C-alpha cells in the first residue's frame, strides 16, 4: 500500500525519501522514482513524514523511538513545524497520544486513514478521511490530492478520523459477512452466485464495497488483499472503541467470531472476502480449488 | 404499495380493476383512474391478476379461496391462459405451491417481488426480480415496465425470484443494523451522524440502500415505511429458507433478536430504520422526540 502511494507522490513531482527495512527493496523503490533509505534518521529533515503502518505499536515505535530500530523517534527528531501525516488504521487512543506528543515538540499531527485497497492506492482511487489542526490539514492537502480521489475533513481532533475509518471498515466487514451468508444459501439452492450479486449491485447495493467485494465473492476469489489477521485487528480496535463508548455491536461480534474461525482453520493468508469461504464451510460447502489461487 | 402501483398502470393506459376490502376506499381509487370493486369475483375475467399482499397466508387465500372472503379462488376461477402475477414477498414453498396449483388449472404464475418502498413504487423506481415460464414473463413485461425501472429475469422457477428477494431484504436489514450500531458509537462519541453517513455513502457505500436509509438513520427518522413486524416476517422466512438449505445466518439472527426487542418495547409501528433506535437504546441513548413524528 505504502509503496503505491509513495510512487504516486514521486510521479507528481514530489521528492520522496522512502524508509525501508530491507536493503533488497532499494532497487525496486529507486525504479519507482523514490529515494530509498534504510536509515530512518534520513527522514528527520522532511517537512512532512507520512506513515502507513500495520498497527498502533508500529506507529508508536516510529514516533517515540524504539530500541529495535535504533531510532530516537519522529517526535524527538523532526524539526518544529514539520508534520507527521499518519495514514495508518490505528486506535483513537493511539491517535490522541501521538498527536499530543507531536504537539509537545511543536510539530503537527494529521490523521488521514484511507478507504481502499492497494489497487485503489495505485489508481489514486483512495478515499481519505482527515482530521487535525486545519492549517496542518491544509498544508497536507496537495499530498492528499495526489494520493486519493477525495479527502473528507471531519474536524480538528485527529482521533475522529480514526474512529470513522474503523467504523467504515466494520461496515465493509459486516457487508462481506452478509454477502457470504447469502451466497452460501444461493449456492446450496443451485442458483448462480454471479446473477445474485449482479441483481444486488444492480439494485439497492450499487456502491463500491458491494461491487468490488461482491464480484470477488461470487467468483470465490479469496486471494489477499486485506488478510484476515489484519481485519481481526481492526475488528478488535472497533469493538474496543464501541465498548469504551458503551455500545454493543452484535453484528461486528459475529464477524469477529467468523474471523477467529477462519484464522484457526488456516485461512489467515486470505483476503477478507474469505468471510464467504467461512460462511460456506459452516454450511457444508467444501473449499474449491480457486481458494489457493493467486488471482486478485 | 399496491395502490401506487395500480395507479401507475392506469396512468399508462391499462384498464385496472382494483379489488379492495373496504368500501370507503372506493372514491380514492376511482380518483386514481382505477375501477375499484369489493367483489373479488370481478377479477376473474382479467388476463393478468396482480397480487401484492402481506404474507403467504394472504396469497394462499386468494389462490385457493377462503371462507373469509367467500371466494372460490383465482386457481378455480381464472380463465385458462390467464396469468397470476404474484409480487408479494412470500416463501419459496408458497411460491412453488401456488405455481403448481395455477399450472394444474392451465394458468400461468409469474413471481415478481420488488425492491423499493412506497415512494419508489410511486416514482416507478422499483426493481423487480421475476421468474416463471418465459412466455408468461414476456406477456407480463409491458406491465412490469410500467411498474419499475428495471426487471431482472432470473429463470423459469418462480420460487427463485422469492429467494433472491428475501436474501436482498436481509442484506438491507443487516445494513440498517450495522448503520444503527455505527451511528450509536458516533453519537456517543459526540460526532455528527450526518457527516458520518455522508462519508460512508460518499465513499464505499454509495448504493441506494445506504443512501436512502442512512440519511433517515442520521436524522433519526423512524416513521413507517416498512414496519418492524413485517420485517420480522421476512427475517423469519429468510431464516427458514437458510435452515432448509443448511446455512446458518448469524448476521440475520442478530437482526431477528433486535426486531423482537423493538416490537416488545412498543416500536412495532416504526420503520425498519428503527433498528438504529434499538441500537441506540441498547447503548443508553434515549429515544428522541422525532421518534414519534410522522415524517417520512
Could you report the per-residue pLDDT of A94-114, keeping only the tens digit for each? 999 999 999 999 999 999 999
- Give the nearest partner residue to B247 out of A201, A242, A283, using CB atoms: A283
CA dist B235 and B284 (Å) reads: 26
- Host H or E run for residue A18: strand A17-19
Over 50: is that where the pLDDT of A296 sits?
no
Q: B287 pLDDT band (50/70/90 cuts)?
A: low
- Give the nearest partner residue to A254 out of B188, B189, B254, using CB atoms: B254
Is the separation of the CB atoms in B188 and B285 below 8 Å?
yes
Please answer yes or no on whether A178 and B191 come within 8 Å at the CB atom: no
Which cell is B99 given? 405455481
Q: A224 pLDDT band (50/70/90 cuts)?
A: confident
Please answer yes or no on whether B199 and A250 come within 8 Å at the CB atom: no
A201 CB neighbours in chain B (<8 A) are 207
Is the separation of the CB atoms in B247 and A184 below 8 Å?
yes
Q: B103 pLDDT band (50/70/90 cuts)?
A: very high
Please answer yes or no on whether A178 and B170 come within 8 Å at the CB atom: yes
Of all residues in chain A, the one with the smallest CA distance to B198 is A152
A174 CB neighbours in chain B (<8 A) are 174-175, 178, 251
**Predicted pLDDT at A288:** 54
Could you report the per-residue pLDDT of A61-92, keeping only the tens digit for each? 999 998 677 788 999 999 999 999 999 999 99
Is the separation of the CB atoms in B184 and B276 below 8 Å?
yes
Q: Which residue has the cell 514516533?
A: A63
**Predicted pLDDT at B175:** 98
Of all residues in chain A, the one with the smallest CA distance to B181 is A249
Over 70: is that where the pLDDT of B73 sits?
yes
Task: Return the higher-pLDDT residue of A270 and A291.
Answer: A270
Q: B292 pLDDT band (50/70/90 cuts)?
A: very low
ipTM given for this complex = 0.93
Could you give the domains of chain A? 2-155 (3.40.50.720), 163-292 (1.10.1040.10)
How far apart, in Å, are the Cα atoms of B267 and each of A132, A180, A248, B223, B276? 40, 30, 20, 10, 12
Could you report the per-residue pLDDT of A8-44, keeping only the tens digit for each? 999 999 999 999 989 999 999 999 999 999 999 999 9
B251 CB neighbours in chain A (<8 A) are 174, 177-178, 181, 251, 254
Task: Return the higher-pLDDT residue of B71 and B6.
Answer: B6
A189–chain B nearest CA distance, Å: 7
CA angle A290, A291, A295 (to 5 degrees): 65
B282 CB neighbours in chain A (<8 A) are 247-248
Q: What is the mean pLDDT of chain B?
A: 94
Q: Indicate if the alpha-carbon torsion angle A32, A38, A42, A46 is positive or negative.
A: positive
Residue A165 bears catalytic tag:
yes
Instruction: Over range B137-166, report the average pLDDT.
Output: 97
How far apart, in Å, are the Cα atoms of B61 and each of B45, B74, B91, B112, B158? 19, 9, 15, 19, 19
**Predicted pLDDT at A292:** 47
DSSP one-letter string for B268-290: TTBBGGGHHHHHHHTTTPPP-GG
Q: State the pairing for strand pair B126-130/B114-115.
A: antiparallel
Task: Give the residue from A40, A42, A55 showing the smallest Cα distance to A86.
Answer: A55
- Give the nearest partner residue to A129 out of B172, B199, B282, using CB atoms: B199
Q: Which of B47, B122, B165, B233 is catalytic?
A: B165
**Predicted pLDDT at B70:** 76
Q: Which of A150, A165, A211, A233 is catalytic?
A: A165
* Total length of chain B: 296
Q: How far is CA A114 from the centre of its chain?
A: 6
Which cell is A210 given? 458491494
CA dist B118 and B114 (Å) reads: 11
Q: B225 pLDDT band (50/70/90 cuts)?
A: confident
Q: Indicate if the alpha-carbon torsion angle B93, B96, B98, B104 is positive or negative.
A: negative
**Predicted pLDDT at A255:** 98
Please answer yes or no on whether B203 and A115 come within 8 Å at the CB atom: yes
Please answer yes or no on whether A246 and B152 come within 8 Å at the CB atom: no
Over 70: is that where the pLDDT of B67 sits?
no
Instruction: Over range B203-221, report the average pLDDT.
Output: 97
Q: B14 pLDDT band (50/70/90 cuts)?
A: very high
Over 70: is that where the pLDDT of A287 sits?
no
Q: B295 pLDDT band (50/70/90 cuts)?
A: very low
Task: Give the residue from A273, A280, A279, A179 showing the smallest Cα distance to A293.
Answer: A273
Please answer yes or no on whether B178 and A170 come within 8 Å at the CB atom: yes
B185 CB neighbours in chain A (<8 A) are 163, 167, 241-242, 245, 247, 249
Amino acid at each position: 500500500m505504502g509503496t503505491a502511494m509513495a510512487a504516486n507522490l514521486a510521479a507528481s513531482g514530489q521528492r520522496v525519501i522512502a524508509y525501508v527495512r530491507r536493503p533488497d527493496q532499494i532497487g525496486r523503490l529507486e525504479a519507482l522514482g523514490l529515494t530509498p533509505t534504510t536509515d530512518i534518521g534520513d527522514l528527520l529533515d522532511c517537512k512532512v513524514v507520512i506513515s502507513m503502518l500495520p498497527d498502533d505499536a508500529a506507529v508508536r515505535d516510529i514516533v517515540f523511538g524504539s530500541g529495535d530500530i535504533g531510532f530516537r523517534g519522529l517526535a524527538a527528531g523532526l524539526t518544529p513545524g514539520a508534520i507527521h501525516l499518519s495514514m495508518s488504521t490505528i486506535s483513537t487512543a493511539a491517535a490522541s497520544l501521538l498527536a499530543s506528543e507531536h504537539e509537545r515538540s511543536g510539530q503537527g499531527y494529521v490523521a488521514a486513514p484511507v478507504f481502499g485497497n492497494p489497487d485503489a492506492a495505485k489508481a489514486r482511487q483512495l478515499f481519505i478521511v482527515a482530521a487535525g489542526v486545519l492549517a496542518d490539514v491544509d498544508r497536507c492537502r496537495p499530498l492528499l490530492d495526489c494520493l486519493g480521489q477525495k479527502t473528507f475533513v471531519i474536524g480538528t481532533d485527529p482521533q475522529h478520523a480514526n474512529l470513522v475509518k474503523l467504523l467504515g471498515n466494520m461496515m465493509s466487514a459486516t457487508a462481506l459477512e452478509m454477502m457470504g451468508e447469502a451466497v452460501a444459501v444461493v449456492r446450496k439452492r443451485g442458483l448462480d452466485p454471479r446473477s445474485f450479486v449482479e441483481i444486488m449491485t444492480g439494485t439497492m447495493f450499487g456502491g463500491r464495497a458491494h461491487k468490488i467485494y461482491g464480484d470477488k465473492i461470487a467468483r470465490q476469489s479469496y486471494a489477499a488483499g486485506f488478510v484476515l489477521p489484519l481485519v481481526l485487528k481492526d475488528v478488535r480496535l472497533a469493538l474496543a472503541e464501541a465498548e469504551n463508548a458503551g455500545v454493543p455491536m452484535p453484528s461486528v461480534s459475529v464477524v469477529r467470531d467468523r474471523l477467529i474461525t477462519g484464522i484457526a482453520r488456516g485461512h489467515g493468508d486470505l483476503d477478507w472476502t474469505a468471510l464467504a469461504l467461512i460462511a460456506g464451510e459452516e454450511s457444508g460447502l467444501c473449499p474449491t480449488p480457486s481458494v489457493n489461487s493467486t488471482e486478485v
